Amino acid sequence: MSHVRGTLMLVAAAIAFYRGWRIHTGQSAWMAYGLGLLALALALWHLLRTPAPRR
């Protein structure tokens, strides 16, 4: 499940970076870039961590 979440967060990061690129300037663009970085960090965390044991 964590690989699915990681992949979804990569998609969310790509969308946030694209929105920031389209805005170009202003506070909204920096907010989009910040959210993109956060989503990228969460995606890497989900993809690189060891999976939890099955219950």
- Give Cα 47 distance to the centre of its chain: 12
pLDDT along the chain (55 residues), means of 10: 88 94 86 95 91 79
Whole-number pLDDT of residue 2? 81
- Which pLDDT value is given to residue 54? 82
pLDDT at res. 25: 82
In Å, what is the CA distance from 53 to each residue of 1, 3, 35, 50?
12, 14, 30, 9
